[in-house]
């Protein structure tokens, strides 16, 4: 995609949603870290339902460790892989206390050393909690980057690096959220809704998906 098209691409997404935000519920950097860790192979809606009561009770690593793994499991048992995720959340909470004074570090390498935290999770926390210009590539952004031609790549890291290189100011801070929301609600995996896409003319995807036909409503018999 040409530079001018990339600028136009982001400008249209920004016009449609000037202040994009994560759909995960959180109260501080720590609860965001926990929410993102829990969201792997789960929906934001499902995570929010599970953490609503949890975050009313727990919003620090110390409180999480005090709650314990069994107590945490009771809160998140509706989330897929909750046993493994509970272990990771307790372990990362202990690591935050032991290595960072209970604070979430503003450093990707330090975040990635925490149990259960990968590059995507680290990038989300850095961007959403601390305002870093990072690009957290999930399945939605990987699809949008490749399908549209904005940032093609064979791996998640390749797409991330391509986005980092191609995305200009003033769009860098919110690019991650614009792209994930676009992939979640418009540029869907099975059937992209090209007919209502604001960047369809800039996108390389062919063939474009037409608008669904209106259902015929037959007149009632006399």
Q: Which residues carry out catalysis? A: 120, 138
Contacts of 192 (CB under 8 A, 6+ apart): 147, 186, 205, 209
Alpha-carbon distance 164 to 150, whole Å? 11
Alpha-carbon distance 34 to 66, whole Å? 15
177 contacts 20 by C-beta, under 8 angstroms: yes
Alpha-carbon distance 107 to 1, whole Å? 31
**Is residue 105 annotated as involved in ligand binding?**
no
**Is residue 17 annotated as involved in ligand binding?**
no
Tally: H helices and E strands in the chain = 10, 0
**Is residue 203 annotated as involved in ligand binding?**
yes
145 contacts 137 by C-beta, under 8 angstroms: yes
Location of structure tokens 């209970």: 102
Contacts of 124 (CB under 8 A, 6+ apart): 22, 32, 36, 134, 136, 176
Binding positions for [4Fe-4S] cluster are 187, 194, 197, 203
């Amino acid at each position: 995609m040409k530079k001018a098209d990339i600028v136009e691409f982001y400008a249209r997404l920004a016009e449609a949603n000037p202040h994009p935000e994560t759909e995960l519920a959180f109260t501080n950097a720590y609860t965001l870290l926990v929410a993102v860790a829990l969201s792997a192979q789960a929906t934001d809606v499902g995570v929010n339902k599970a953490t609503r009561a949890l975050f009313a009770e727990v919003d620090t690593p110390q409180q999480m460790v005090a709650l314990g793994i069994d107590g945490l499991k009771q809160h998140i048992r509706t989330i897929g892989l909750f046993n493994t995720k509970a272990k990771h959340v307790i372990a990362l909470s202990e690591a935050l206390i032991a290595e960072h004074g209970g604070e979430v570090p503003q450093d990707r390498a330090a975040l990635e050393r925490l149990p259960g935290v990968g590059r995507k999770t680290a990038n989300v926390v850095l961007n959403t909690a601390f305002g870093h210009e990072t690009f957290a590539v999930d399945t939605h952004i990987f699809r949008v980057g490749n399908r549209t031609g904005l940032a093609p790549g064979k791996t998640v890291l390749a797409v991330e690096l391509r986005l980092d290189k191609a995305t200009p100011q003033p769009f860098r801070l919110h690019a991650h959220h614009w792209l994930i929301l676009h992939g979640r609600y418009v540029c869907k995996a099975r059937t992209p809704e090209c007919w209502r896409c604001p960047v369809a003319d800039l996108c390389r995807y062919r063939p474009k998906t037409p608008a669904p036909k209106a259902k015929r409503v037959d007149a009632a018999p006399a």
